[in-house]
Amino acid sequence: EIVLTQSPGTLSLSPGERATLSCRASQSVSSSYLAWYQQKPGQAPRLLIYGASSRATGIPDRFSGSGSGTDFTLTISRLEPEDFAVYYCQQYGSSPPSHTFGQGTKLEIK
């Protein structure tokens, strides 16, 4: 079973700053099956990035994803007030089919 470890657990930044969130897999993951989600309190998660680097529909271009193998990164170039939330990475494994989420990174206002 693949384990996804996100770091840091909490990231404290100010609006306008750049955020870099990490997701490390316990073994190599197909980039095609690596996604990132944003979740605000009391809301369902929202898809941000699929295929490690493709933005979902309606996602601003300040959000970008990168990485391959075991190391993936979500970058928010300039933080807006509405970006402060919890972010999860997620991967799909095919044998047998299963999905794994990281434990999340909380992005809070400094």
Partner 1 sequence: EVQLVESGGGLVQPGGSLRLSCAASGFTVSSNYMSWVRQAPGKGLEWVSVIYSGGSTYYADSVKGRFTISRDNSKNTLYLQMNSLRAEDTAVYYCARLGHYYGSGSYSLAFDYWGQGTLVTVSS
By CB atoms closer than 10 A (0-12, 13-18, 19+), residue 100 is middle
- What are the structure tokens assigned to 22, written together? 């990490």
**Cα torsion through 29, 11, 79, 49, rounded to 10:** 20
Which of 23, 37, 65, 85: binder of partner 1 (CB under 8 A)? 37
Q: Which stretch binds partner 1 (CB under 8 A): 17-25, 27-35, 65-73, 77-85?
A: 27-35
Tell me whether residue 16 or residue 58 sits nearer to partner 1 (CB atom).
58
By CB under 8 A, tell whether 58 contacts partner 1.
no
Which of 2, 7, 13, 46: binder of partner 1 (CB under 8 A)? 46
**For 85, which DSSP code?**
S
**Of 40, 39, 87, whose CA–CA distance to 64 is shortest?**
87
Q: Which residues bind partner 1 (CB under 8 A)?
A: 31-33, 35, 37, 39, 44-47, 50-51, 54, 56, 88, 90, 92, 96-104
